Amino acid sequence: MTTPTQALQLILGRVRPLPARLLPLEQVLGLAVAEDLHSPSTVPPFTNSAMDGYAVQAADLAEASEAHPVCLQVLGDLAAGGVPLCAVGPGQALRIMTGAPLPEGADSVVPVEDTTRGGNWVETTRPLRAGIHIRLAGEDLRKGQLLATAGQGLRPGDLGVLAAAGIATVSVHPRVRVAVLTTGDELVDVSEQPGPGRIRDANIHAVCAQVTACGAIPVPFPRVPDDRATLLGVLRQALEADVVLTTGGISVGDYDFMKAMLEELGAERIFWKVAQKPGGPLGFWLLDGKPIFGLPGNPVAAMLMVEEYVRPALRKLMGFSKLHRPEAEAALEDGWTGRTDQRTTFLRVVARREADGLKARLTGPQGSAILSSMLVANALAVVPEGVAQVEPGGVVLLHLTEEAEDH
């Protein structure tokens, strides 16, 4: 059996980022930039007023006080978007609004709150230093400055900066389209009342949601019965997507046809079965370079496999340089006892920060069919192979599945 580390290496060794595309700014939120982005311009492009007030020469106000108010001649006014038509000389002021270009001659702005206005004059009792309440050209962004690094996901703040700098289109890796197939004669739609022996299809919703949460686009397929011919036909259609995920039918049951059908289609098996709990029967195939993941049917196992193996692969396909969740060590308060075997165990836990470090608690029974154990989990504790027991308070490695999205 393949170890979790080997499985991840085998997967990541075989997937490459999808070719980059030039997309308009309004379509790139959350996508990874394909190349470093540098500012093509200076921001702000001109020195401008940071306040609503009066553009002046600070030297005029150096001696201003309650006892000696300074009175200046007002030349006119200037709104944001306007251009100054005259220079400000000694003894003069120009009424100016926030964002309007500072007129020639002026070196600072007196906030309107510090002035008294009458006709074509303005008076102030506050002294002022040169360079106050103005924003210098280029103080925000220099021309050529690095704005984003290849492999970085774009966030709202990044889009604002790119817009200010004049970058209207960005070369990004597109979202991956992921076909999601669930298989099993026992499955019914969530809206149906399951008849005898039937259960609701949880995976189609959980797995599609995980794909969406990765920033990829799920393409859900109608449920596939445990029938070779039907499965073969649906797999052919699913292969039009960039990645195929299937759940169920991957084990050694009499109706588990997934492996055989994928191989009938000519897919190359990279591995099948990972030495881990929950969920050993994960398979990974390639067909003309297209990744196909055969996930277990068991919903906990399926979700865990998506989290640990599919998510990093989707992120790599989407060009992100950070593929993995943040990790941390935590004290497992309730401890854990398992069976001694050679498999890595992933425990669903709730982690919280305390003054003396990170603490984790099991979400409840850890059986691989206990889907409710996923409900409140915000991390997975990784108990390595060969370890059958963690003492209460023992240290475990966590994969933080809800930590602020790495970008």
Residues of this chain that bind ligand AMP (CB under 6 A): 182, 184, 186-187, 199, 201-203, 247-251, 253, 296-299
Residue 347 forms beta bridges with which residues? Answer: 381
Least spacing, CB of residue 184 vs ligand AMP, in Å? 4
Q: Which is nearer to ligand AMP, 128 or 234 (CB)?
A: 234
**How far apart are CB 262 and ligand AMP at their closest, in Å?**
15
Non-local (6+) Cβ contacts of 160 within 8 A are none
Q: Residue 192 Cβ, how far from ligand AMP at the closest point, in Å? A: 13
Chain centroid to CA 249: how far?
32
Tokens of 360: 């984790």
What is the token pair recorded at 111? 């906030």
Query: Which of the listed partners (ligand AMP, Mg ion, none) does 218 bind, with a CB threshold of 5 to 8 Å by partner kind?
Result: none
Burial class (CB in 10 A: 0-12, 13-18, 19+), 220: middle
Bridge partners of 93, per DSSP, are: 74
Residues 292-321, mask of contacts with Mg ion (x by CB under 5 A):
-----x------------------------
Smallest gap from Cβ 201 to ligand AMP, in A, equals: 4
Cα distance between residue 345 and residue 275, in whole Å: 9
Site for Mg ion (CB under 5 A): which residue of 4, 174, 248, 281? Answer: 248
The number of residues that bind Mg ion (CB under 5 A) is 4
- Residue pair 314/390 in contact by the 8 Å Cβ criterion: no
Closest separation in Å from C-beta 306 to ligand AMP: 13
Q: Using CB under 5 A, which of the segments 168-176, 188-196, 289-297, 319-327 binds Mg ion?
A: 289-297
Min dist. Cβ of residue 227 to Mg ion (A): 11
Q: Find out whether 351 and 330 touch, Cβ atoms under 8 Å.
A: yes
Closest CA relative to residue 96, chosen from 44, 54, 56: 54
Judged by beta carbon distances under 5 to 8 A according to partner kind, the member of ligand AMP, Mg ion, none in contact with residue 260 is none
For ligand AMP, give the closer residue by CB, 106 or 208: 208
- DSSP secondary structure letters along 235-254: HHHHTTSSEEEEES--SSST
Q: Which is nearer to Mg ion, 254 or 354 (CB)?
A: 254
Q: How far is the CB of 187 from Mg ion (least distance, A)?
A: 8
CB-nearer residue toward ligand AMP: 141 or 181: 181
From ligand AMP, Mg ion, none, interface partner of 367 (C-beta below 5 to 8 A by class): none
Answer with the entry of ligand AMP, Mg ion, none that 251 interacts with (C-beta below 5 to 8 A by kind): ligand AMP
What is the full DSSP assignment across 14-48?
A: T--PPPPEEEEGGG-TTPBBSS-EE-SS-BSSS-E
Do 103 and 93 touch, CB atoms closer than 8 A? no
Nearer to Mg ion, 216 or 258 (CB): 258
CA 22, CA 37: separation in Å to the nearest integer?
13
281 binds Mg ion (CB under 5 A): no
| Binds Mg ion (CB under 5 A): choice among 4, 101, 103, 184 | 184
* Residue 215 found at the interface with Mg ion (CB under 5 A): no
Phi and psi (nearest 5°) for 165?
-80, -15
Which residues are 118's β-sheet partners? 121
Tokens 């790495």 label which residue?
406
Neighbouring C-beta atoms of residue 402, cutoff 10 Å: 11
Rounded least distance, CB 202 to ligand AMP, Å: 4
The residues binding Mg ion (CB under 5 A) are 184, 248-249, 297
